[in-house]
């Protein structure tokens, strides 16, 4: 019998309208969003449900909006009697905070406040406009990493930022260095290089000011040891201890997201079923590219929750619940 991992998406999975059907159907979910509204000081629920999209895409708004929506979906599973016990939790970048909440290491109230600050600090660190991110498709990790090292110097650098799945790596850093690596990568056989529409060079050393600021907010938040292991983006290893979690969340801002490594680690631990809980289907797609034999469910709205509920009732679900 295989194990189950809950996985939670990060920035880029948001869309206008996310969470609205759950808000409309469950009073408990309305209360959840209204509490989040009070915490951030504006109607986060309206922004999630009605936009405008440009405002939802602002990092300082996206992060609490995604977190509260993913928590609303997780809570809706409970309200619908979908009783699945995860053996592990993992999240992609911002999603790691949601994973920690799901693993009882942090309250969602503390997490909302924390990721709102995280988003603000990341925007501030990116404000000088010197950085960017690009996706490199169809290139070996070790070759791309060497390119980044060869191009980088003390004044201009580029580094691997997201190892998403085989053949999909995000690079981050100074614009000139990214453009140079992009040219070399295309010359050396990369299928495509795509500049990303993001507000800053996330998961690079240019986020050091954000990391310095976030340290105080993380120290003030009340973390406790998790009840199930969380897989850290920084090292693709499991962590339970609250002090280690805090340190790894700080390192995460300037380190690469080892998503492919994290999924392979979970598979090595006996996980054969992944449930993506949150808006969109980004992680479902990545996991299928990492290991096509894994069972992947995606829950992001009332329909997908109902489908999962039906799969369990019809005994189609991979594990006996």
Closest CA to 252 of 240, 268, 270, 235: 235
Q: Read off the CATH number of the domain in which 160 is found.
A: 3.30.70.250
Residues 151 and 117 in one domain: no
Cis amide leading into 91 (omega within 30) = no
Share above pLDDT 70 across residues of the chain, in percent, rounded to a whole number: 98
pLDDT for residue 63:
97
Write the DSSP assignment of 141-187 as a string of letters: HHHHHHHHHHH--SSS-EEEEEEEETTEEEEEEEHHHHHHHHHHHHH
Q: Say what the pLDDT of residue 321 is.
A: 35
pLDDT digit string, tens, across residues 88-138? 999 999 999 999 999 999 999 999 999 999 999 999 998 888 999 999 999
What is the per-residue pLDDT for 320? 39
Kindly report, residue by residue over 202-215, the tens digit of the pLDDT: 999 999 999 999 99
Which of 93, 110, 182, 255 is flagged as catalytic?
93
16 with 94, same domain?
yes
Q: Which residues contact 180 (CB under 8 A, 6 or more apart)?
A: 151, 158
pLDDT recorded at residue 209: 96
The answer to whether residue 300 is catalytic is: no
Provide the domain limits for residue 43: 3-125+206-313
Which of 29, 70, 228, 201 has the alpha carbon at shortest distance from 132? 201
Contact between residue 291 and residue 260 where contact means Cβ atoms under 8 Å apart: no
Q: What is the CATH number of the domain that holds 268?
A: 3.40.366.10
Give this prediction's pTM: 0.96
Q: Using 70 as the pLDDT threshold, list the residues of the chain that sit under it.
A: 1, 315-321
Number of domains in the chain: 2
Whether 70 is catalytic is no
Pairing between β-strand 230-231 and β-strand 295-299 as defined by DSSP bridges: unpaired
258 located within any domain: yes
Which is the catalytic residue, given 92, 174, 203, 300? 203
Same domain, 103 and 250: yes
Is 38 inside a domain boundary?
A: yes
């Amino acid at each position: 019998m295989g194990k189950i991992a809950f996985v939670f998406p990060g920035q880029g999975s948001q869309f206008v309208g996310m969470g609205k059907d759950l808000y409309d159907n469950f009073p408990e979910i309305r209360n959840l969003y209204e509490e989040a509204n009070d915490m951030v000081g504006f109607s986060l629920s309206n922004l999630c449900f009605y936009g405008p999209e440009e405002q939802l895409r602002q990092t300082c708004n996206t992060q609490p909006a995604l977190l509260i929506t993913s928590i609303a979906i997780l809570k809706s599973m409970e309200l619908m009697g979908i009783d699945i016990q995860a053996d592990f939790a993992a999240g992609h970048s911002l999603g790691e905070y949601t994973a920690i909440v799901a693993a009882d290491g942090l309250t969602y109230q503390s997490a909302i406040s924390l990721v709102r600050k995280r988003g603000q600090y990341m925007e501030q660190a990116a404000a000088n406009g010197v950085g960017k991110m690009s996706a490199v498709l169809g290139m070996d990790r070790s070759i791309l990493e060497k390119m980044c090292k060869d191009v980088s110097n003390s004044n201009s650098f580029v580094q691997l930022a997201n190892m998403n799945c085989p053949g999909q790596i995000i690079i981050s850093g100074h614009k000139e260095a990214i453009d140079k690596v992009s040219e070399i990568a295309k010359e050396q056989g990369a299928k495509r290089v795509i500049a990303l529409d993001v507000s800053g060079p996330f998961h690079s050393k240019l986020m050091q000011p954000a990391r310095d600021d976030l340290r105080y907010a993380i120290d003030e938040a009340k973390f406790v040891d998790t009840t199930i292991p969380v897989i850290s983006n920084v090292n693709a290893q499991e962590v339970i201890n609250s002090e280690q979690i805090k340190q790894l969340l700080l390192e995460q801002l300037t380190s690469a997201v080892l998503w492919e490594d994290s999924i392979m680690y979970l598979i090595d631990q006996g996980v054969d079923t992944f449930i993506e809980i949150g808006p969109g289907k980004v992680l479902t797609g990545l996991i299928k590219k990492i290991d096509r034999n894994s069972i992947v469910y995606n829950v992001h709205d009332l329909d997908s929750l109902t489908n999962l509920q039906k799969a369990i009732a019809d005994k189609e679900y991979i594990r006996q619940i």
